[in-house]
A and B are shown apart, each in its own frame.
Chain A
Amino acid sequence: AQSVTQLGSHVSVSEGALVLLRCNYSSSVPPYLFWYVQYPNQGLQLLLKYTSAATLVKGINGFEAEFKKSETSFHLTKPSAHMSDAAEYFCAVSEGTSGTYKYIFGTGTRLKVLA
């Protein structure tokens, strides 16, 4: 079974600083990878997804992630943090066969942005 590991359940950055949220996956086949964000009192919202078209994936709100097969990683970055980025971020991998895929989520990383 595939899995994702998010290192660091809590990350704090200063406003304007680089955001780096880590995600490593385990998969024996090319993975389908996603980042979701959950703002307080809201459901999850898709930030970006890796579909093998390009290793650097750009998402909404200035976030991007780079797929590195050699490191089995799909880390999420943003050059300059805003206060509005404070939220919980989930990495997920889509597992299954044709017509049966389902998400396997990581445990999440809560991002705190300091003024």
Chain B
Amino acid sequence: ETGVTQTPRHLVMGMTNKKSLKCEQHLGHNAMYWYKQSAKKPLELMFVYSLEERVENNSVPSRFSPECPNSSHLFLHLHTLQPEDSALYLCASSQQAGGAYNEQFFGPGTRLTVL
């Protein structure tokens, strides 16, 4: 595997379910990100991790819970979601967090549908 991978690619869940999204980066980067991509809206930054420490939490509801066990893996745990949480969730990584010129490398995303 190369680059940034995400599993699953598609997920349908009910509002009472608990599920997790997984992201893995094979680039040796120190920073990882979760974004939410909704139709006709700009990408929304949800969380930033730098060396496994959360450095950004953009007022995301507590029904989204991130976990970064090491610099290569990032999870997004989901519980009691709402239909408006349906979106494409993108994971990204970069060499470091917070640099002005950082290039971020994105995974293909998980298409989440909440029924």
Give A residues with C-beta under 8 Å from B: 9, 32, 36, 41-46, 49, 51, 90, 94, 96, 98-108
Task: Output the least CB separation between B99 and chain A (Å).
Answer: 6
Would you call A49 and B108 a contact (CB within 8 A)?
Answer: no
> Cβ of B98 and Cβ of A42 under 8 Å apart?
no
Contacts of B92 in A (CB 8 A): 43-44
On whether A49 and B43 interact (CB within 8 A), knowing A43-B90, A100-B98, the answer reads no
25 pairs from A and B in contact (CB 8 Å cutoff): A9-B40, A36-B106, A41-B108, A43-B92, A43-B106, A43-B108, A44-B43, A44-B104, A44-B106, A46-B103, A49-B103, A51-B101, A94-B101, A96-B100, A98-B98, A98-B100, A100-B98, A101-B102, A102-B45, A103-B43, A103-B45, A104-B42, A105-B43, A107-B41, A108-B42
- Closest-CB distance, B1 to chain A (whole angstroms): 14
Binding site of B, secondary structure by majority: helix, strand, loop or mixed? loop
Please give, as numbers and ranges, the residues of chain A lying within 8 Å of B100 by CB-CB distance: 32, 94, 96, 98, 101
- Determine the distance from Cα of A51 to Cα of B43 in the docked complex, in whole angstroms: 22
User: Which residues of B1-53 have CB atoms within 8 Å of chain A's CB atoms?
Assistant: 4, 40-43, 45, 48
Count chain A CB atoms within 10 A of each CB in B4, B48, B102 and give the residue with the most: B102
Assess the B40–A107 pair: CB atoms within 8 A.
Answer: yes
User: CA–CA, A46 to B105, complex, Å?
Assistant: 8
Contact B98 A96 (CB under 8 A): yes
Chain B minimum-CB-distance residue to A32: B100
Chain B residue nearest to A30 in the complex (CB) = B100
Question: What is the bound-complex CA distance between A90 and B41, given in angstroms?
Answer: 11
Point out the residues of chain B lying under 8 angstroms from A9, CB to CB.
Answer: 40
A104-B42, A107-B40, A107-B41 given as contacts; is B98 within 8 A of A99 (CB)?
A: yes
- List chain A residues, Cβ under 8 A from B98: 96, 98-102
Looking at the assembled complex, report how far the CB atom of A1 sits from the nearest CB atom of chain B, in whole angstroms. 12
Seed contacts A42-B108, A44-B104, A102-B48; 20 additional CB < 8 Å A-B pairs:
A9-B40, A32-B101, A41-B108, A43-B92, A43-B105, A44-B43, A44-B90, A44-B92, A45-B106, A46-B103, A49-B101, A94-B100, A96-B100, A101-B100, A102-B56, A102-B98, A103-B43, A103-B45, A103-B104, A105-B43
